[in-house]
Amino acid sequence: MKLTELLSAIQFYKVTKTIEDCYVTGIEMDSRSVQEGNVFVCIRGFTVDGHDYAKDAERKGACAVVAEHPIHLDIPVIVVSDTSKVLAHLSNVYYQHPTQHLRLIGVTGTNGKTTLTYLLDEIFKCAKEKTGVIGTIQMKIGDEILPTKNTTPDALVLQNTFRKMVDQEVSTAVMEVSSHALDLGRVYGCEFDIAVFTNLSQDHLDYHDSMEDYFRAKSLLFSQLGNTYGNKPKYAVINVDDPYGEKLIKSTPYEVLRYGIHNKADVWAEEIELTPNGSSFLMKTPVGEIHVHTPLVGMFSIYNLMAATSAAICAGVPLSIIQQSFQTSKGVPGRFETVQGGQDFGVIVDYAHTPDSLENVLKTVQSFTKGDTYVVVGCGGDRDKSKRPKMANVAVNYSDYAIFTSDNPRTEDPNQILVDMTNGLTAENYIVEADRKAAIKYAIERAKKDDVILIAGKGHETYQEINRVRYNFDDREIASALIRDVLKGRSK
């Protein structure tokens, strides 16, 4: 692709010197990866400014640099007001508008995004479609698993991945869309066909100024569906039981499919039965009704199943296929995942790391627990501090015994995080144990027959981040090994 063709993606820019119409061999935002003929885009990160590495990119053979201010180089510098936004548009043009050739479903909300992408992936595979998934746990094309760093990758990785999906004949791609990605413009240029909203509760207030700002970022997915009708139909799927749902409906001109249980909805559930081994209910939709029987547990699972159904029927998937898919759904690693080691008490690992999600999971545990409920939970460092006491209050209010411990302290003192959590607590049904393995061991050693232990906060993660170093730590593996040790000790 010629440089002038690439620059057709943007209309307003200044150039420090005459552009020679070179052949562009790629786009890079990391100077260490620049190769001959690349266009280097300077991105201001939280800790590193790409403008400082423009000369390195030139030395490595970049044919042009995109920046937010003039830089003295011997190659053209294209000066724009916002390089992050421009990167998205350039990537989209360079990879030939890949999302125009896919059905793209975007899922946003505080909780349930990952589960929804798994459910939708299973539905479309059941419908004999080749799928792609981009999310927190994995990025995959068909059955090929690719490495992932962020919930929503940067625009360059995103468009490159979509191009690979198109080349490998993927028909439907399902993607988690974070508030950060929406706010930073990573998904500019993505043509979403279906946008799904799960819920909104306190999270990421270390990044967003307020809940309203958090909501504003989420609403961008729906406003970016577009304001005119094109060749591809567009749909918004919205949880109307969430207080922000009705507000969100006003953010899109396209047809909205509402789902919920308590408020008037297009897709809703009746005759709900919840057990420790699964759920069943009657789901009513505009295209018919189905009886759902699934191994997934809890009311939050009912909402996820309704959201997945709503998105799938917008895509034209028959209800019979959706019903068939739900019967065999295994759920998501680290989301209400049981750890079995022959013990007579339950151990569940879950990703719940917000007050709302922790409350939902603990309520679900209490609904089927015959004995006592234990919860092992902490809060991440370098993240929203205001939710720490709220997490602690939820833990002591919805369990019999809470063990507060370290999550991913990152660059913070884990003991200070625990002080932030427990300051002001009046309940006495908790202990503090900063060592996460020791905290899990404490719960397992004390659990009796029919008790249930919830290990919350990290879910699928296989590491613990301390002072910018990631150490191997998988709650599921740790719990499994400790169960074996405890059972061995009890048998002596």
| Whether residue 43 has pLDDT greater than 90 | yes
pLDDT of residue 202: 58
pLDDT of residue 492: 66
State the burial class of residue 279 (Cβ atoms within 10 Å of its Cβ: 0-12, 13-18, 19+): buried
> Encoding tokens for residue 363?
């309520």
| Whether residue 307 has pLDDT greater than 90 | yes
71: pLDDT confidence band, cut at 50, 70 and 90?
very high
Exposure string of 80-90, with b = 16+ CB inside 10 Å and e = fewer, is beebbbbbbbb
pLDDT of residue 309: 98
pLDDT of residue 125: 96
pLDDT of residue 149: 67
d(CA 85, CA 458): 32
pLDDT of residue 335: 87
For 196-214, the pLDDT digits (tens) are 999 987 555 555 567 888 8
Residue 430 CB neighbour total at 10 angstroms = 18
Chain centroid to CA 303: 16
Chain centroid to CA 52: 31
462: pLDDT confidence band, cut at 50, 70 and 90?
very high
pLDDT of residue 147: 72
pLDDT of residue 223: 86
pLDDT of residue 437: 98
Within this chain, domains 98-328 and 337-491 share the same CATH topology = no
pLDDT of residue 146: 86
CA 419 → CA 97, 377, 468, distances in Å?
50, 14, 21
Backbone angles phi, psi at 270, to 5 degrees: -135, 170
| Whether residue 230 has pLDDT greater than 80 | no
Over range 54-82, report the average pLDDT: 96
pLDDT mean across residues, the chain: 92
Fold of domain 98-328: UDP-N-acetylmuramoyl-L-alanine:D-glutamate ligase (3.40.1190)
Sheet containing strand 172-176, edge to edge, reads 144-146, 139-141, 131-134, 172-176, 103-108, 194-197, 235-239, 255-259
Residue 162 one-letter amino acid: F
> Encoding tokens for residue 131?
């799928």
pLDDT of residue 81: 95
The full set of domain ranges for the chain reads: 3-94, 98-328, 337-491
Task: Report yes or no: 38 and 24 within 8 Å, Cβ to Cβ.
Answer: yes
pLDDT of residue 206: 56
Over range 265-272, report the average pLDDT: 97
CA 134 → CA 47, 177, 271, distances in Å?
25, 9, 34
State the burial class of residue 74 (Cβ atoms within 10 Å of its Cβ: 0-12, 13-18, 19+): exposed
Q: Which of 86, 155, 243 is nearest to 218 (CA)?
A: 243
Fold of domain 3-94: 3.40.1390
Residue 251 CB neighbour total at 10 angstroms = 21
Query: Which has the minimum average pLDDT: 155-169, 174-188, 304-318, 368-382?
Result: 174-188
Q: Which CATH superfamily groups domain 337-491?
A: Mur ligase, C-terminal domain (3.90.190.20)
For 282-296, the pLDDT digits (tens) are 999 999 999 999 988
Q: Which of 46, 38, 94 is nearest to 66 (CA)?
A: 38
Stated pTM of the model? 0.83
